[in-house]
Amino acid sequence: MGGPSSEREISLKSGNAAFEALKNAGYDAVAMDAVGNIEEKILSEGISVAFIALHGRFGEDGAIQSILEKMGIPYTGSGPEASAKALDKEASRRIFKNNGIFVPNCTILYRNYSVDKFIDDVALKFPLVVKPACEGSSIGLSIVDNKKDLASAIAQAFHYDEKVLVEEYIPGKEITVGILEDKPLPVIQIVPKNKYYDFHAKYTKGMTEYVVPAKIDEKEYKAAQKAGLDAHLVLGCSGFSRVDMIIDQGHRPVVLEVNTIPGLTETSLLPKAAAACGINFTQLCEKLIGLAYEKNKVLEKEV
């Protein structure tokens, strides 16, 4: 948990919640902050399985997974390649589009691109969503209503990444679908008190209502679960993930991103969805460890 990413504080909350749950369930668990020489820390603890609660870079880009694979230690969640594809919104969206999964129209900006030229020529309609390509938790994200505010939003996103997405804002119902053991969990509807579901709405108590199961019609519900599972599978994810999307005004699920290590506190969205199926937080943590061992057995057979 923890680690060097911009989502460090959120990761520490996830890690501590999982650590306490596993410890209370009788596991010989150790909490490890993934900074400094992590290989040395892992070796010194002599762990038999790694429960990864690292959000963002180093945790969701495949880096820690590659280290653990090299060390021969089973770990929770997706492998290095699927993790890297999911964190990079440009790469994942290309895969989604090629597989018939709806995604927002967007333009990718690189640091050497002329922002002024882009703003002069921008073809997408306002409002626009501006965000770093490889960050989560709405970090560096802005929603802009006019050209005047676009330059500062792009500059803010470039503060976190070398690559920035400028995409159409899709009005509709904001939802998320958790995936567990390659099956979709109940759909959660996200209802922010403010106009947009941004970082403030996400992490300020009382600023957002979460409805489980989502109050959407049956056709939309099934389509959302299918889109969530399809997005998880086409990236090659395993174990669990959470897929964020919007049901647009044409009743279609539009996929925004796949989180390979979503929030893992008792009040986070994946645990909420699991709880709606009768799986409490401790049982969820135990299940993820069981899946880590199962995946490891499959990998050993393949080798």
Q: What is the pLDDT of residue 140?
A: 84
Catalytic hit among 203, 210, 252, 286 = 203
* Active-site residue identified among 92, 137, 238, 241: 137
Spell out the domains of the chain, with CATH numbers in brackets: 85-102+171-282 (3.30.470.20), 106-168 (3.30.1490.20)
Output the pLDDT for position 303: 44
pLDDT value at 42 more than 80 = yes
Task: Tell me the pLDDT band of 126, cut-offs 50, 70 and 90.
Answer: confident
Q: Which of 225, 199, 221, 227 is nearest to 129 (CA)?
A: 199
Query: How much is the average pLDDT of 54-79?
Result: 95
Check pLDDT > 90 for residue 188: yes
Cβ neighbours of residue 221 closer than 8 Å, sequence gap 6 or more: 187, 213, 214
Q: Which is more confident, 161 or 21?
A: 21
268 counts as catalytic = no
257: annotated active-site residue: yes
| Mean per-residue pLDDT over the chain, rounded | 91
- pLDDT at residue 129 is higher than 80: yes
182: annotated active-site residue? no
Q: What mean pLDDT is predicted for residues 137-157?
A: 86
Catalytic residue among 7, 61, 161, 230: 7
Q: pTM here?
A: 0.91
- Which residue, 144, 168, 164, 167, is CA-closest to 155? 164
Looking at residue 299, its pLDDT comes to: 57
Assess whether 203 carries a catalytic annotation: yes
- Which pLDDT score is estimated for 203? 63
What pLDDT, on the 0 to 100 scale, is given for residue 64?
A: 97
Q: Which of 35, 30, 62, 59 is nearest to 47 (CA)?
A: 30
- pLDDT recorded at residue 226: 98
Mean pLDDT of 95-108: 94
Is 7 catalytic? The answer is: yes
The model's pLDDT over 263-281, given as tens digits with 9 standing for 90+, comes to 998 779 999 999 999 999 9
CB neighbours of residue 158 within 10 Å: 18
Active-site pick, 135, 161, 174, 257: 257
Residue of 79, 259, 280, 290 marked catalytic: 259
How confident is the model at residue 137, as a pLDDT? 57
Q: For residue 128, what pLDDT band results from cuts at 50, 70 and 90?
A: very high
User: Helix (H, G, I), strand (E, B), or coil: what is residue 80?
Assistant: helix
Mean pLDDT of 187-215: 80
Has 244 been annotated as catalytic? yes
Q: How much of the chain, in percent, has pLDDT values that exceed 70?
A: 94
pLDDT attached to residue 202 = 66
Which one of the listed residues 62, 79, 140, 263 is annotated catalytic? 263
Catalytic residue among 60, 61, 88, 244: 244
Alpha helices, DSSP H, located in 72-190: 80-87, 89-98, 115-121, 150-158
Catalytic, 149? Answer: no
